[in-house]
Amino acid sequence: MIKKAVIPAAGLGTRFLPATKAMPKEMLPIIDTPTIQYVVQEAVDSGIEDILIITGKGKRSIEDHFDRNFELEARLEEKEDAIWLNEIRRLSDMANIHFVRQKEQNGLGDAICYARHHVGNEPFAVLLGDTIMDSVIPVTQQLIDTYEQYRGTVIAVEEVPADKVNRYGIVGGKALSDSILELNTLIEKPSIDKAPSNLAIAGRYILTPEIFPALAQTPKGKNGEVQLTDAMLLVLKREALFAHRIEGKRHDIGNKLDFLKTTVEFALKRKEFAGPFLKFLEEMIEEHKK
Ligand code: G1P
């Protein structure tokens, strides 16, 4: 049973400046809900009970978001606003949420090292804090189901266009079924000619404790950072690794265009906005056609 998850949220968010100068990218809201709240919800919906969020400098608002806020609660009580009172209390009660700070910006692999003590000797889920998944079955649940079947590392993947393989970790391997591959290679942000496929790592993982000794041996790689992908390649020497093609849509909130598209998509799904917002979009399109 996988009950623990790690959410790395320590990155600087340089792709979203200036908003992220003093604000964590994981707190960027899609409409009214911070990105990381969707990520925590996915973990909870997948049966996770214990979450470690890896933060860093300037990320205090993430801790505050999942903490009690007695002053706000008292004010909502006075106003007899039961709906928001319950929602605000639910937020601090979603799961057992813990925090640890990454001291230096040494990459995703280095951030995961900080989870060693917390997760101990169990497999655990990893959900990148700037990526929202929109799916019927939570993507982390999909990976857990595959883990239960194959008992090894499971990496979420999705196809990307060939000209975008250099933005992702790319995997290669043998298909075991329509959705599962057994991997024989992984490479972080390869050029098109070095990419083993167009299957990109999509920001969700089930890792085994073998990742920790592997990370300890992983030298700095792409962009001078310790890459999780490089450490998983070391794990491959000792254990089988699997990739799971996800069913669902990935939204990378750290990317401005994706952020905009996600906001529009999610607004159109909300009952209170769908009608007037669609009308507004239609008017905008007409205006821009001129
Ligand atoms: C990270 C991982 C990469 C993965 C990507 C998904 O890269 O290192 O393997 O494909 O997330 O978003 P980053 O986007 O942090 O550079």
Query: How confident is the model over 30-86, as pLDDT tens digits?
Result: 999 999 999 999 999 999 999 999 999 889 999 999 999 999 999 999 999 999 999
Q: Which ligand 1 atom minimizes the distance to the CA of 107?
A: 15
With b meaning 16 or more CB within 10 Å and e meaning fewer, what string describes 39-49? bbbbbbebebe
Q: Are residues 117 and 42 in the same domain?
A: yes
The residue to mutate among 25, 105, 108, having the most atoms of ligand 1 within 8 angstroms of its beta carbon, is: 108
What pLDDT digit, counting tens, does each position of 199-248 carry?
999 999 999 999 999 999 999 999 999 999 999 999 999 999 999 999 99
Any atom of ligand 1 within 6 Å of the Cβ of 169: yes
Return the amino acid letter for 90.
Answer: R
For residue 81, the CA-to-ligand 1 centroid distance in Å is 41
Q: Are residues 81 and 223 in the same domain?
A: yes
Quote the Cα angle for 56-113-124, to 5°: 105
Query: Which residues, other chains included, contact 168 with Cβ-Cβ below 8 Å and sequence gap of 6+?
Result: 160, 189, 200, 201
What is the residue with the minimal CA distance to atom 13 of ligand 1?
168
| 196 located within any domain | no
| 174 located within any domain | no
Q: Are residues 152 and 263 in the same domain?
A: no
Any atom of ligand 1 within 6 Å of the Cβ of 111: no
Whether 290 shows a pLDDT value over 90: the answer reads no
Cα separation of the two ends of the chain: 57
For residue 290, the CA-to-ligand 1 centroid distance in Å is 39
- What span, in angstroms and rounded, lies between the C-alpha atoms of 128 and 130? 6
Q: Are residues 19 and 131 in the same domain?
A: yes
- What span, in angstroms and rounded, lies between the C-alpha atoms of 90 and 170? 38
At 280, list the tokens.
Answer: 């507004």
In the predicted model, what is the mean pLDDT of residues 138-150?
98
Taking a C-beta distance cutoff of 8 angstroms, is the pair 23, 130 a contact? no
| 93 located within any domain | yes
Any atom of ligand 1 within 6 Å of the Cβ of 242: no
Q: Are residues 272 and 247 in the same domain?
A: no
| 65 located within any domain | yes
| 184 located within any domain | no
Q: Are residues 45 and 126 in the same domain?
A: yes
Torsion angle of alpha carbons 64, 67, 70, 75, nearest 10°? Answer: 70
Q: Are residues 143 and 275 in the same domain?
A: no
Q: Are residues 152 and 261 in the same domain?
A: no
The domain in which residue 22 lies consists of: 4-156+204-252
| 21 located within any domain | yes
Q: Are residues 89 and 224 in the same domain?
A: yes
Domains: count for the chain? 2
Q: Are residues 247 and 286 in the same domain?
A: no
